[in-house]
Amino acid sequence: MTDMKQKFTKMKAAFRKQQNPDFASRDLHLSRLADLITENTKAIIDAITADFGHRSAIETQFGETLNALTDIKHTRKSLAKWMRVEKRHVGMHFIPAKAEVRYQPKGVVGIISPWNYPFAMAINPTIAALAAGNRVMIKPSELTPKLSELLAKLIAQYFEADHITVITGGPEIAQQFSALPFDHILFTGSTKVGGFVMQAAAKNLTPVTLELGGKSPAIIDKKYPMQTAVEKIVSGKLFNSGQTCIAPDYVLVAKSSEAEFIKTYTETVRQFYPNIGDNDDFSAIISEGHFERLSGLITDAKEKGANIIEIYPEEVGKPCNTRKMPPKLVTGITDDMKIAKEEIFGPVLPVVTYETVEEALDYVMDRPHPLAFYGFSKDNNFVEKILHNPLAGGVCINDTLMHIVQNDLPFGGVGPSGMGSYHGFDGFKTFSHAKAVFRQSGINARKMMFPPYGKTMDKLLKMLS
C-alpha cells in the first residue's frame, strides 16, 4: 500500500508539471503503446493462454491485440480534431461575446481491469485516458497473474513510471487501489464489485465509469432466416467460451420456431467446433471456481425442471485438464432458476419462447437493463420496436458483438449494466473535463445589471422575459 501511494503521489506531481500535454506528446505515448503491442504480441498470447489453461490464439488476437491496435489507429487519426476548441453559441442578448468549450485532462486515472479480456480491457481505457492527456495507473485481475506480470513488465519498459504504471495483487490491493483519490476511475467487472468500487470512490468524490455486464438477450423474428441468425449467435456466444460481457446470455424465439432453432443451433455449433476437448479454437473456462459456478447453474436449472440439451453428449464426463465446458442449450426456464437471474458468462444458452414481439419485449423490460441487446429481423417495424422500447447499453441488429468494435460508437451500460461510456471520442470526453469558457466583448450592456437596481432593471427584465 505504501509503494502504491508513493507511485500515485509521484504521478500527481508529474501531472502538475505538465497539466495539459500537447498533441505531439499524446500522440507519442499512443505510438509507444502501439509498439508495445506489435513487438510483444506472441508473449501476450502465450501469457493469456497460460492463465486460461487454453485460450484460442485467434480469439486473443481478435479480442485483445488487434482490438487495441485498431483503437489506437482511430484515436491517433482523430485526436487533433478532438482536441480543438469547440465554438458554442451565446444568447442573443450577449452578442458579440463568444463561448467555447476546451477539453482538459482530469489528472491521474485509475483503471481496474477484468480477467476475461485481461489485455484489451486494461489497454483500451488507457488509450482513451492517454488521448485525453492523463496519466494512468492500472490494476489488472489477479485471476490472470501471468498476463498481469507481463503487462507490468512491458509498461515499465515502454513508459516512465510517473506516466503509466501497473499495480498487481489480489482483492485487498484492489480495494486499496480504488480508495486512492484518483481524478477518475474506470472499472470493468461484475455488478457486485462495481458497487464496492463506487462506494470507495465516493469517499474521495472521484467520478466513476462502470463497465459491468448482465443478461444480454437476443431476439429472432420468426420471419428471419434461422440459419443466418444462429450463425451470428453461435459466433458471439461461444467466442472466448461465452466469457464476454456482451455475449448473448439468452435467446428469445417464436414458440413455433423453437424446435427449428434447437436443431439449427446444435448443427451449427458442431460445424464450427467438430469437438471441444482437443479443439484449439475453443477456449477454456478461466478457473476451477468459475467452472464449478457454471456447473452449479446447470444443476440448479435441471433440479427445478429445465431441460438440458447436450450438444456434445459424447464428451460429457470426459476428462479435460484445461477446463473446457462443452456448449449446452437449456429450455423450460422459470424465474426461480439461478440461470434465469444470474449472468451466465459461459457456453450455456437458455432458450425462451414468445408468442408476440410485445410479449418478448416485456420479458426483457421486466428485467434489469442489459449491456447489449441483439435483434434479428428484416422487418423495419419489428426493428423499430426493438430500438424504441427496451433500454440497453447498446443494440446490434442482425449480428452480435460487432457494435463494440465500432470505434466511433460509445460503449457503456445502463444502471446494473454500467454507468458512463468510453471508446473513441466518447472515451476522450470521459477522461477530459469540458471546460466552459465565456469571452465578454468590449461592447456590452453588463453595467445595466449592476446595483442599485431601479426602473431600468425592471424594464430590462420585462424585455428579456
Q: Please check whether residue 462 lies inside any domain of the structure.
A: no
Bridge partners (DSSP) listed for residue 329: 309, 349
Domain count, the chain: 2
In a domain, 445, yes or no: no
Amino acid 1: pLDDT: 73
pLDDT of 278: 87
**How far, in Å, are 258, 369, 391 from residue 357 at the CA level?**
15, 18, 16
* Domain contains 433: yes
In terms of C-beta density within 10 A (0-12 exposed, 13-18 middle, 19 or more buried), how is residue 96 classed? exposed
Percent of residues, the chain, with pLDDT higher than 90:
89
% of the chain at pLDDT higher than 70: 99
Q: 96 φ, ψ to 5°?
A: -100, 30
- Non-local (6+) Cβ contacts of 58 within 8 A are 281
Q: Which pLDDT belongs to residue 445? A: 78
- What 8-state DSSP symbol labels residue 313? G
Q: What is the distance between the alpha carbons of residues 109 and 458, in angstroms, rounded to a whole number? A: 49
State the pLDDT at residue 456.
81
Catalytic residue among 245, 320, 343, 396: 245
- Provide the pLDDT for residue 319: 67
Q: What is the CATH number of the domain that holds 92?
A: 3.40.605.10
The list of the chain residues with pLDDT below 70 reads 319-321
432 and 401 part of one domain: no
Q: Determine, yes or no, domain membership for 442.
A: no
Domain contains 323: yes
Residue 339 structural domain: 217-405
- Tell whether 295 and 386 lie within a shared domain: yes
| Same domain membership, residue 420 and residue 313 | no
Cβ atoms of 201 and 187 within 8 Å: the answer is no
* The dihedral formed by the CA atoms of 119, 77, 402 and 390, expressed in degrees to the nearest 10: 100
My answer on whether 141 and 72 are in the same domain is: yes
Q: What is the mean pLDDT of the chain?
A: 95
Where is the domain boundary, 405, 428, 454?
405
Same domain, 151 and 257: no
Q: In which order are the strands placed within the sheet that holds 164-166?
A: 164-166, 135-139, 108-112, 184-188, 208-211, 418-419
- CATH code for the domain of 275: 3.40.309.10
Q: Are residues 267 and 297 in the same domain?
A: yes
Dist. CA 301–CA 459, nearest whole Å:
73
pLDDT of the residue at 320:
65
Question: Do 214 and 371 touch, CB atoms closer than 8 A?
Answer: yes
Residue 52 lies in a domain: yes
- Known catalytic residue at 396: no
CA 416/CA 393 separation, integer angstroms: 10
What torsion do the CA atoms of 11, 14, 16, 21 make, to the nearest 10 degrees?
Answer: -110
Answer with the one of 384, 405, 426 that is the final residue of a domain.
Answer: 405
User: Is 454 a member of any domain?
Assistant: no
Whether residues 418 and 303 fall in one domain: no
The C-alpha cell at 343 is: 449472468
165 and 270, same structural domain?
no
Identify whether residues 233 and 143 lie together within a single domain: no
Residues 185 and 326 in one domain: no
Q: Are residues 270 and 315 in the same domain?
A: yes
- Angle, to 10 degrees, between the axis of helix 66-83 and the axis of helix 120-131? 10
Cα(394)–Cα(410) distance, integer angstroms: 8
Q: Is residue 453 part of a domain?
A: no
| pLDDT at residue 67, rounded to an integer | 93
Are residues 300 and 332 in contact, defined by beta-carbon separation less than 8 angstroms? no
The active-site residue out of 211, 231, 343, 396 is 211
Full-model pTM: 0.93
| Confidence at residue 321, expressed as pLDDT on a 0 to 100 scale | 65
CA angle at residue 207 from 203 to 209, to 5 degrees?
A: 120
Rg of the chain over Cα atoms, rounded to whole angstroms, equals 25
Residue 234 and residue 174 in one domain: no
Query: Is 245 a catalytic site residue?
Result: yes
380 C-beta neighbours (distance < 10 Å), count: 8
Predicted local confidence at residue 172, as pLDDT: 92
Q: Which residues contact 353 (CB under 8 A, 6 or more apart)?
A: 252, 253, 254, 255, 258
